Structure 1
Amino acid sequence: MSAAHFLTDPTHLVATALHACTLTNPSLALDAANKTVYRRPSSTPSTPTVSVISGGGSGHEPSFASFVGRGLLAAAVAGTIFASPSAEQVRRCISRRVESEQGVLVVVMNYTGDVLNFGMAVEKANAAGVRVEMVVVGDDVGVGRKVGGKVGRRGIAGTVLVQKIAGALAAQGAGLEEVYQAAKLVAGNLVSIGASLSHVHVPGRSVAEAGEEDLKEGEVEIGMGIHNEPGSERRAETLPELVKTMLAHMLDAEDEDRSFLQIPEGEETVLLVNNLGGVSPLELGGIVNEVVEQLAKDWKIRPVRILSGTYMTSLNGLGFSISLLKIRDTGLGNGKSMLELLDAPTEATGWSAAVSPETWNANSTATRGEDDGDSDDFQPSNLRLDPVLAKKVVTSALEKVIAAEPDVTNYDTIVGDGDCGIGLKRGAEAILKMLERAKKTDDAALFLHNIIQVVETSMDGTSGAIYAIFLNALAHGLRVQSPSSPAPVDVQIWSKALESSLEALNKYTPARPGDRTLIDALYPFVGTLSKTGDIKSSAQAAEAGAKGTRGMRASLGRTVYVGGEGWQGVPDPGAHGLAELLIGLSEGFD
C-alpha cells in the first residue's frame, strides 16, 4: 500500500477531478455543489430521449463521471471517496440536471449505501411525477452465495457494460421500458471477479487509519472488492495459476456457490479486462493475453469483443478484474442488438472514444437552470385531515421516541455502533421543531411532505435512508388515491398507502421479518392495520414484533459482524425504536 499522493485533501481532490471532466469534454457541465457531472443541453432543437444516470463513491475513475457523454450517461453523481452520494444529490440530478420528459433510468452497483440513497431519490422523483426506473448491478462472483446471503453479489466493473448498452439504446430514441429491460438483460448475463496484490490507501487518511492488513510479498487476494473489501481467499500464485482460479470461479457450473451464469461452448461473449488503477498498460497486455488463451483452451470461449483498459478503478489498486457478458437477443430489432449497442459511438471520454470536432467547435457555454432554493415542486392533494389532531398524534409518537433514546442507544451499543438512538432522537426533535413553526395544513400529503423534508435533512445513515424511502413512498401512495374533490383521509386510505410503501421499500433492502431489523416491527404494524383498521392493535403487533427480535440471529446490518455474547439478550435497536414510535402514535389518539 502506497500512502504517497500528489493531492492529499480528499475534498479538494474530488472537486477538481470532477471539474477536469468539463475541461476534457466541452459538452459537459458540473454542478459543483452536488458533485454532479451532466451533459449540457443542446443549443439546437432535438428530440427528447431517456436519460441514463449513474454514480457512486469517488475513487473508481473513469467510472462514473467520465462516462457522461453523448451515447452513454446523461449524468453521474459522485460521493466522497468510497462513499455513496446522498439522496438529495441524486434527486437534484434527476429533477434539475437531465431531461426527464421521456423518463430516467438509474444504474447503480449493489452496495447498500448506493441502493438506499439512489433508491430514495427514485421514490421521491416518482412521487413528484417523474418516470424513473432503477437497475441494480451485482456481477461479482468473488464472494459466493453463502457469504453474500440476502445482500447478493457486489457490483464491479461489469457495470460499465450495462451503462454503455443502456446509454446507446437511449440515444437511439428507445422508450424507458425498452431501455430498462435491456439494462436488466445485460445485468443478468454478467459475471466478474477481481484480484489484487495490495490494498489501497485513501488520500487524507493516515496509514494506521486505513486499518487493513496488507498482503505479503507474492501473495494475491482473489475476489477483493473495489473499496478494499476482503475477497474469498489469499494465495501465492503465478499469473497463469491466478487466471485459472478466477475463470473457474466465474464459469465452473459445478461450483454451486458461485455458478451464476452458464456459458456453453459456442456462445457469443464480450470480455472486459479492467485495470484497477495501478497496473501498467504493458503488464495489463500480458494479463489480457493470458485470459484470452485460457478462455479458448480450457473453456472453449472465444469472445467476439475484447475490451481492455481502465474502466473502473479502486484508486491506484494494484490489480485487475475480468468480466464476461453473454450476448443475448434484446428482441428490439436491427441496430439494437447488444453488440451493436456496445459498438455504437459515444463521446464519453472514459470509453476511450474521441470527441467529435463539431462538439469542440461548438464551444458551448450553455448550462441547465440553477435551483431556485426550493427543493421540491409540491403538488397539493384533495385528502383532508384534522391538523390539530394530526399534530397531537405525531407529537405523541415523537416524544415516545425521544424518551426511548437511552434504551435504543444501549441496545445499539451492544449490537452495533451505538448511534441508532441518537439518530432517531435527532430526527424526532427536528420534526417537533418543524411542527411548531410550520403553518397549519389540512392537506394530508402536504403534512407528510413537511415531515419528509425534515427526515431527509436531519437523519443520516442506513436508518435515515430507510425512513425517508418509506415516507416518500407513503406520500406517493396517498397521492395516487387523492380524489377529484376534497375528502377525508381515512384508515383504509392510510392502510393502502402503507402497503404500497412496504412494497417500495422491499425494492431497496433485502430485509424481511426474521432478519432482526426494524422490518420485524414494521411488517406486523402494516399487516394488522390493513386487516383490522385498528391503530392500537397494530401498534401492539409492532411492539410484539420488536420484542421477538431478542435472541434472533441477524441476517443483515452490523449485528451480523458482532461476535461474542450480549446480542441475544436485547431486541434489535431499530425495531425497538420504531415500535416505540408506533405505540406513541396510537396513544396520541386517546
Structure 2
Amino acid sequence: MKKLINEPSTVVRDMLEGVVALSPATVLLADENVVIRSDLPEASQRKVAVLSGGGSGHEPAHAGYVGRGMLTVAVAGDVFTSPSADAVLAGIRAASGPAGALVIVKNYTGDRLNFGLAAELARADGIPVEIVVVADDVALKDTVPADRRRGIAGTVLVHKLAGAAAEQGLPLADVARVARSAADRLSSMGIALGSCTLPAVGKPGFGLGDEEIEVGLGIHGEQGVRRMPIASAEQLTSLVIETIEADGKVKSGDRVLLLVNGLGSTPPMELSIVARSAVAILERMGVTVERAWAGTFLSALDMPGFSLSLLPVSDQDLTLIDSFTDAIAWPRGGAVNKRRVLSSTAGGEDMVSSGKTTDAGTRLRKAIETIARALIAAEPQLTELDSLTGDGDLGTSMKRGAEAVLALPKESFSDVASGLMATANAMRKAIGGSSGPFYATALMRASRHLAGLDEPTAAQYSEAFLAAVQAISDLGGAKPGDRTMIDALNPAAQAFAGALAAGAPTATAWQNAIGAGIAGADATSSMRPRLGRASYLGDRAIGHPDGGAVAVTVWLRAISAFLSAFIFVH
C-alpha cells in the first residue's frame, strides 16, 4: 500500500488540519474532529446552524462544505465510521444559538444513532434541533424500502440548499422544510470500476476481474447490488439514468440539477465524458438540465468510478443553489451550455486536383496505404516503447494518423505533390503532440519539392526526402545524436541519396536507406536524450530505443514493397 499519510491513526486529524489551513472561513475544535465556520457572530445573533458529517474518507465532504451559505459545522468520524454523539453535540453547542440547528444525516445506522442521540442531548440543553435524513440511493429500490436506502453523493445538494436557506435568515422549521423536500425528491446511483483501500487495512476491500464492475454501491468501499462486465461510459450512464427514471422521481418535463460525482480516483477526463452522456440522455428524455457539475464531491477514498445525482427543482430552488457560499469545495456556477458546437469553416488546405490522376499519384496512394497499415499493426510495439521513455501515446497517435490517411479519397492523390499535401493535412488534424506537426511539416516540404512533376525520378524523391528531414530538424531543433526520430531519418535519407549518386539501382539504394535507418534507431538505445519528454529521464532512458526513431523504421520497411519498379523512375 502506498499512501501519503503520516500514521493511520492520525489521518483524520491531519487531514482536517490541512483543510482548515487552506480555508480561512473555517476553524477546528481543539478537542474534537469538528470543523466550524470561523465568522459566527455572538450566539444570540446566530442564524440556524446547519450541521452534517459522518465517517471520513469522503473528501471533500464534509469539511470542504463548511462556510457561509452552506454548512455551519462538519463532524468527522474515523474513516468510514460515524463520529461519536459527543463530537456531534460539541459541534451543535459550539455553533448554535436560539435559532437552533438543522442536522443533515446520511441514512446509515451509525450516523442516525449518533447524530440522533446528539440532537436529543442538545434539545435537553434547550437548543432547538431538527433532523433531515437523506436516503437517495436508488440502486436499492428493489432491495429495501425507500426509507432504508443509503445516503450518498446527492447529500451535497441538500447541504447547499439548506445552507442557503439558513443564510437567508429563515426559521428552523422552514430551513428543515427546504432540506426535507430536497431529500425527498433526490435520486442518486453509483458504479465502481474497482475497490478502495482503507489506510488502516492496507488492501482493497474487494476484488474485481479486469473486465468487471460493481453496480449500485454505497460510499464505504462495499460491493454493489450486482456485478457486470465493463461497458462504455455512454452505456453505464444510460444504465444509471434509466434506473433513476424507473424509480419515478425524475420524468419528462422536469427541470433538474445534475451532479456527476467521482468516487475518489476517477480523472476529470472520464467525469467529463460521463457528464456529456448524462446531459445528452436527459435532454433526449425531455428533461431540462438547469445546473450541472462534474468533479469529486463525495468520495469513497481512492475508489475509481462515478455516481449521478438528479434533483428536480423549482425557481426557488435555483435561487438557493445559485446563492453565494465561501465553502472551498462547492464548485460554483453550474450553468449548462445550450450551444455546445460551433460549425467549423472549411479551409482551402489541400491542393486543387487538376481533374486527372497521374500514374505516380496512384502508386503513391498505394504505398501510403501500405505504410498506414504497417503503422496500425505496429501500435502495440510503439506504445510499449514510448511508455518506457515517453508518455505512452506514440502508438495510438500513429494509428490515429494512419486511419485518417486511409480515409482520404482517391481523388486526393491526383499527383504526387497533391497526395503528399493531403497526407500532411490528414496527419496534422488527426495527431496532436509532436508527431503530427513533425510529419505534417515534413510531408508539406516534400510536396513543395515535387510540385509540378507528374513522374518524379528517384533522385527527385531523394531530394524531397532530404528536404523533409531538414524540415523536421528546423521545426524541432533536433540534430543527429539527440535521440529522436532524426537519428533514423537522417542516416536513411543520406544513405538513399549517396547510393543513388554512386549509381546504385533504386531498389539497392532503398535497402541501404532501410539498413541505415534501422542502425540509427538501434543506436538511440545508448544515447542520452537531449530533446523531448525522454530528456526528463536522463540516463534512465538509456537501454531502450527511441519510439519515434523505431516508428520511422516501420514505414521505411513498408516502402520496400514499392521499390523502383513501382514508385520510382530511375
Tell me the residue number matched to 1:202.
Answer: 198
Query: Structure 1 185/43 Cα, relative in aligned 2: closer, same or farther at 3 Å?
Result: closer
Aligned length: 332
Structure with the larger RCO, 1 or 2 (CA within 8 Å, 6+ apart): 1
Does 2:318 correspond to 1:339?
Answer: yes
Query: Structure 1 49/281 Cα, relative in aligned 2: closer, same or farther at 3 Å?
Result: same
How many angstroms apart in 1 are the aligned matches of 2:255 and 2:269?
Answer: 27
Where structure 1 has 5 or more consecutive residues not aligned to the other structure, the ranges are 253-258, 330-336, 355-590
Question: Structure 2 matches for 1:86-485, cutoff 5 A?
Answer: 86-95=84-93, 97-145=94-142, 147-149=143-145, 152-207=148-203, 212-236=205-229, 237-252=231-246, 259=247, 261-297=248-284, 299-328=285-314, 337-352=316-331
Offset, 1:233: 1.4
Letter in 2 for 1:74: T
Higher-Rg structure is: 2
Offset, 1:173: 0.5
Tell me the residue number matched to 1:404.
Answer: none
How many angstroms apart in 2 are the aligned matches of 1:54 and 1:14?
Answer: 16
Offset, 1:41: 4.1
Offset, 1:216: 0.8
How many angstroms apart in 1 are the aligned matches of 2:100 and 2:41?
Answer: 21
Question: Structure 2 matches for 1:478-557, cutoff 5 A?
Answer: none
How many angstroms apart in 2 are the aligned matches of 1:262 and 1:350?
Answer: 27
SS at match of 2:76: strand
How many angstroms apart in 2 are the aligned matches of 1:239 and 1:352?
Answer: 23
How many angstroms apart in 2 are the aligned matches of 1:202 and 1:264?
Answer: 38
SS at match of 2:329: helix
Does the Cα contact within 8 Å between 2:65 and 2:329 map onto a contact in 1? yes
Offset, 1:204: 2.3
How many angstroms apart in 2 are the aligned matches of 1:313 and 1:9?
Answer: 21
How many angstroms apart in 2 are the aligned matches of 1:110 and 1:346?
Answer: 25
**Partner residue of 1:29 out of 27, 30, 46:** 27
SS at match of 2:138: coil
Letter in 1 for 2:227: R
SS at match of 1:55: strand
Query: In percent, how many aligned pairs have the same letter?
Result: 39
How many angstroms apart in 1 are the aligned matches of 2:54 and 2:152?
Answer: 11
Query: Structure 1 193/184 Cα, relative in aligned 2: closer, same or farther at 3 Å?
Result: same
TM-score, length-scaled by structure 1: 0.54
Offset, 1:202: 0.4
Letter in 2 for 1:294: I
Offset, 1:263: 2.6
Query: Structure 1 150/288 Cα, relative in aligned 2: closer, same or farther at 3 Å?
Result: closer
Letter in 2 for 1:180: A
**Partner residue of 2:82 out of 81, 84, 97:** 84
Does the Cα contact within 8 Å between 1:192 and 1:324 map onto a contact in 2? yes
Where structure 2 has 5 or more consecutive residues not aligned to the other structure, the ranges are 334-570
Offset, 1:7: 1.1
How many angstroms apart in 1 are the aligned matches of 2:323 and 2:22?
Answer: 21
Does the Cα contact within 8 Å between 1:8 and 1:203 map onto a contact in 2? no
How many angstroms apart in 2 are the aligned matches of 1:55 and 1:136?
Answer: 12
Offset, 1:218: 2.2
TM-score, length-scaled by structure 2: 0.56
SS at match of 2:139: coil
What do the CA deviations read for 1:250-270 (whole angstroms, capped 9, x no partner)? Answer: 102xxxxxx2x3333221111
Does the Cα contact within 8 Å between 2:43 and 2:97 map onto a contact in 1? no
